Amino acid sequence: MNKPRIAFLGIGLMGHPMALNLLRAGYPLNVWNRTHSKAEALRSDGAIPCKQTHDAVKDADIVISMLENGPVVDAILCSPATLAALKPGALIIDMSSIPPAMAKRHSGMLAERNHGYLDAPVSGGTVGAEQASLSIMVGGSKADFERAGPLFACLGKAATYIGPAGSGQLAKCANQAIVGITIGAVAEALLLAAQGGADPAAVREALLGGFAGSRILELHGQRMIDRSFMPGGTARVQLKDLQTVLDTASAEDLQLPLTEQAFAQYAQLVERGLDNVDHSGLLLQLEALNAPARLNDKPTQRPDGDSITD
């Protein structure tokens, strides 16, 4: 049985390995990216690079978007040219992280055109994308979720049906609140240990065996100790996601003080020009707040290739 043709929009840090996994699973793939060279890089793997979104989607049974934020999704996925070119009955799966209210609006707009829609944001970062071990949180109809099941199985270890449209984005909000707050907690704990004279690497190892153990402590704690902040997920995107969490909470008349504190620290990190460091680079903001305190004496690696040693 022939596999459905997929249009993949957004070949970035996450999109590139996700697209590769679909190609390796035998899906025919059209790919598009604003910087066309990133789409062109997948030609040798069997993808068809497209310079326009309407060319990418016109013969696709399923359209996946993996774009940076809500405004970009609106401008690209929901442009008149893209919408007009969609194949009748196409299923649109937005795997970007956008506000839940926007996902509901997109679902309604596409339903009026007789297209299926799933909001299916992910967690797991570039490592999860490369290893096809992403956690996928899905909102939409159960029938569309089941239709997308084989595809999700090529991208992640677990796709969970959350509920109607917008529910996947609500789950992602919950995820990003936990991630942002926990990164801050790990940075504070390791810096406290180091300043008191303990080896932060040994402290991390000890904590991994107890109640404080977490994927954040395992992965991001190691990045902090290595002072290697090449992005798996950028501080800029983490800040955007925390803003979405707070906006969504405000709409529900909720106050989330821990998320507010994490947001404020990420905002200061971004204001210092460190928007492209990995979100575990929140350690750098904590160190700046407590200067001259420092986790260790290793040089700090950042995305532009420079080392920060002060």
What residue ranges define each of the domains in the chain, with the CATH number in brackets?
6-163 (3.40.50.720), 170-308 (1.10.1040.10)
Omega before 28 within 30 of 0, i.e. cis: no
Q: Please tell me the distance from the alpha carbon of residue 208 to that of residue 217, in angstroms, as a whole number.
A: 7
Q: Please tell me the distance from the alpha carbon of residue 45 to that of residue 148, in angstroms, as a whole number.
A: 23
Full-model pTM: 0.90
For residue 239, give the nearest of 97, 124, 122 by alpha carbon.
97
Write out the two tokens for 65. Answer: 């978007």
Task: Please enumerate in sequence order all residues whose Cβ is within 8 A of that of 259, keeping only pairs 6 or more positions apart, or say none.
Answer: 177, 180, 181, 242, 245, 246, 249
Backbone φ, ψ for residue 117 (5° rounding):
-150, 135
Backbone φ, ψ for residue 51 (5° rounding):
-85, -20
CB 259 within 8 A of CB 249: yes
> Strand pairing partners for 156?
134
One pLDDT digit (tens) per residue for the chain, 310 residues: 689 999 999 999 899 999 999 999 999 999 999 999 999 999 999 999 999 999 999 999 999 999 989 999 999 998 999 999 999 999 999 999 999 999 999 999 999 999 999 999 999 888 899 999 999 999 999 999 999 999 999 999 889 999 999 999 999 999 999 999 999 999 999 999 999 999 999 999 999 999 999 999 999 999 999 999 998 889 999 999 999 999 999 999 999 999 999 999 999 999 999 999 999 999 999 999 999 999 999 999 988 654 433 3
Q: Which of 104, 172, 240, 298 is catalytic?
A: 172
172 is catalytic: yes
Backbone φ, ψ for residue 226 (5° rounding):
-80, -15
